[in-house]
Amino acid sequence: MQSPLTDVNASEPSAPPPDGEQKAKGNGRRDRWADHREQRRQELVGAAVQALLRHGPEVDMEQVAAAAGVSKPVLYRYFADKSQLWVAVSEVVAARVVDTIAPAVEQVREERDLVEATIDAYLGVIESEPRLYRFLMHQSGDPGIHRVVAGTSRQVAAGLARVIGDRLRTLGLDAGPAEPWAYGLVGFVQAVGDWWTTHGQPISRTALTDYLTALLWSGIEGVRASADLPHELTRAHERIVP
């Protein structure tokens, strides 16, 4: 009988996997752990949103932990402090604002409708989730949340400026006012929206949209009317009804 040491048919000890394979396995484990951690983090942010809806802007970490079904120390494994959690929540709210306004702006083709759609979409976000909106605006003194709010405003205004500029160029008008108009519109509606939600929405969304559209459109139409263009061109945006 041959010794296993000399038997060519005997199984040999398996060689260690190549370095590249070991690194790939390690990277796979790290990626899975990172994905799991991010998923868990998003679940905790969702719980914080629910706690806000239930308890209002003064919600504390104890109430967030209860909504998530975890202890406070678990929250602090994912968020360094309360401020970091609120920044994550503000990012969720801000994304909802952008996701609501951007499609509304892109769909309209008439200039007055553009103003109306922007205002109505923004007020619609407030109307659907007033507590989240109040939280976002009233916590804006926090540097992290302020950056989120300011970034969201810039994102909405930039998209709006592009659309307004396209409309002005189509009419042969100077597109220079597009950007300041867009930023002014966003800031104006934010301020009025803050008043509206703080005072318990004393007038309907439809009425407020009409009031703000009438005021803002008067300014834009005034620029159009004073432009050195034939009357027919300055009115070209309006539909002619037989």
The residue ranking higher by pLDDT, 2 or 225, is: 225
Question: Token digits for 84?
Answer: 């970091």
Q: How many C-alpha atoms does 50 have within 13 Å on its Cβ side?
A: 13
CB atoms within 10 A of CB 182: 23
Q: How far apart are CA 86 and CA 92, in angstroms?
A: 10
| Alpha-carbon separation of residue 142 from 113, 145, 219 (angstroms) | 35, 5, 34
Tokens found for residue 229: 């263009």
Pair 137, 66 in one domain: no
Lowest mean pLDDT among 117-121, 129-133, 167-171, 216-220: 216-220
Integer angstrom CA distances of residue 120 from 46, 109, 228, 238: 26, 16, 32, 20
Tell me, rounded to whole angstroms, the distance of Cα 133 from its chain centroid.
12
CATH code for the domain in which residue 87 is found: 1.10.357.10
Phi and psi at 141, nearest 5°, equal -70, -20
112 and 123 assigned to the same domain:
yes
Q: What is the pLDDT of residues 83-93, one digit of tens each?
A: 888 899 888 88
In the three-class reduction of DSSP (H, G, I as helix; E, B as strand; rest coil), residue 8 is classed as coil
CA angle centred on 141, ends 90 and 69, rounded to 5°:
40
- Domain shared by 154 and 54, yes or no: no
If asked whether residues 71 and 186 sit together in one domain, one would say no
Domain that holds residue 167: 81-225
Q: How far apart are CA 148 and CA 154, in angstroms?
A: 10
Total domains, the chain? 2
Same domain, 116 and 155: yes
pLDDT 10s digits, 166-183 = 888 887 888 888 899 899
Residue 106: its pLDDT value, please? 78
Q: Percentage helix, strand, coil, to 5, in the chain?
A: 75, 0, 25
- Residue 100 within any structural domain of the chain: yes
**Token pair recorded at residue 45:** 């942010």
On whether both 154 and 181 belong to a single domain, the answer is yes
Cα–Cα distance, 162 to 158 (Å, whole number): 6
Phi, psi of 212 (to 5 degrees): -70, -40
Does residue 62 carry a pLDDT above 60?
yes
Is residue 43 within 8 A of residue 52, CB to CB? The reply is no
Give the integer Cα–Cα distance in Å for 78 and 50: 18
Least confident of 38-42, 137-141, 232-236: 232-236
Domain with residue 65: its CATH number is 1.10.10.60
Rounded Cα gap, residues 39 and 37, in angstroms: 5
**How do residues 145-166 score in pLDDT, each as one tens digit?**
888 888 888 988 998 898 888 8
Whether 204 is in a domain gets the answer yes
In a domain? residue 86:
yes
Q: What is the pLDDT of residue 69?
A: 92
| Residue 238 binned pLDDT confidence (cut-offs 50, 70, 90) | very low
